Each structure stands twice: as C-alpha cells, then as structure tokens.
Structure 1
C-alpha cells in the first residue's frame, strides 16, 4: 500500500485545544480505518511542524479524502508527501533505465 508522510501544524483552534491532541489522533486513526487506510505512527514534534503522521492508504484519492476530513475539523493544516520504500524505489529506478 502506498505510504504518505503528513506534516501537520496546529491552527489557532488546534493549539487552544492542545490537551485533546491525543484523542484527536485516535479519531484520525479511526477515520483512516473507515476509509481503508492505516495510521502507522503519529509523532508530536518540536520545530517547523507540530505533528508528523505516517499513513498507508490504498491510493492517492483515499489519502486525500482522509486529509480533507481531518483538515475540515479546523485543528490542523497539512502538507503531505508520497513516500517510496526501498522496493518501490528499486522499481522506479529500473523503469528510469
């Protein structure tokens, strides 16, 4: 399944409710599961981003739907990267010649 690394920043609303962040993470994981995706891990970070989530989803559309749902709640803004594992990268290199 494709892997996505999502970088999240709290909105003003999200930081005001920081005490609920772990509960919101559980809701995010449940929403992912309903869509056929899986949250592999969530990290709370210090630096340019407040949270990093690693998610597997069957396709780009599913990942995008999940992130639209979470973004629509108003607590975070997201930047998402499609990540390629070693085997995927080997196949990409083989195609490139």
Structure 2
C-alpha cells in the first residue's frame, strides 16, 4: 500500500483541550481504518510542525476521504505528502531513465 506522511499542526481548538488529545488520536486511527488505512507511526515533534503521522492507505482517494473526515473536528490542520520507499524510488528513476 502507498505510504503517506502527514505534517500536523494543532489548531487553537486542539490545544485548548490537549488532555483529550490521546482520545482524538485513537479516533483518528479508527477513521483511518474505516477507509482502509493504518497509522504506522505518530510522533510529537518540535519545530514547525506539532506532530508527524506516517500511514498507509490503499490509494490517494482513501487518505483524502479519511483526512477530510477527521479534519471536520477542527482540532488539527495537515499537509499530506505521498512517500515512496527506496525501492519505489529506484524503480521510478530506472523507468524515467529508459
């Protein structure tokens, strides 16, 4: 399955009740599962982003639907990146090089 990296920032609504954060994370995992995805890793981070999520989904449409679903809560905003493994990278370079 394709891998995705989401860069997450907490919105004001998310930080006001940060003690509910772990439950919101569990709910986000359930939303992901409902769209065929799985969260592989969650990291609380320092710097420009508050958290990083690494997940796998069947396709771009599935992660888009899952993301739109949990963004409706209004506690986070995300930037989603499609990630390619080293093997996928090598295949892409080989195919582009002909």
Same fold (TM over 0.5): yes
Give the secondary structure class of the aligned counterpart of 1:77.
Answer: strand
Following superposition, the deviation at residue 34 of structure 1 comes to 1.1
Q: Name the SS for the 1:19 alignment partner.
A: helix
Q: Which residue of 1 aligns with 2:48?
A: 48
Name 2:64's counterpart in structure 1: 64
TM-score w.r.t. the length of structure 1 is: 0.96
Q: RMSD of aligned C-alpha atoms?
A: 0.7
Q: Residues of 1 paired with 2:57 and 2:17: CA distance? A: 28
* C-alpha distance in structure 2 between counterparts of 1:70 and 1:51, whole Å: 15
Any idea what SS the aligned residue of 1:94 has?
Answer: helix
| CA shift for structure 1 position 47 | 1.0
TM-score computed with the length of structure 2 as normaliser: 0.95
Give the 5 Å matches for 1:7-18.
7-18=7-18
Number of paired residues?
97
Report SS of the residue matched to 1:7. strand
Give ranges in structure 1 of 5+ residues lacking alignment.
Answer: none
Q: Please give the residue correspondences for 1:23-38 in structure 2 after superposition, counting only pairs within 5 Å.
A: 23-38=23-38
Deviating above 6 A after TM superposition, structure 1's stretches of 4 or more consecutive aligned residues are: none
- Which string of whole-angstrom CA distances, capped at 9 and with x for unpartnered residues, describes residues 11-39 of structure 1? 11011011111111111111111111000
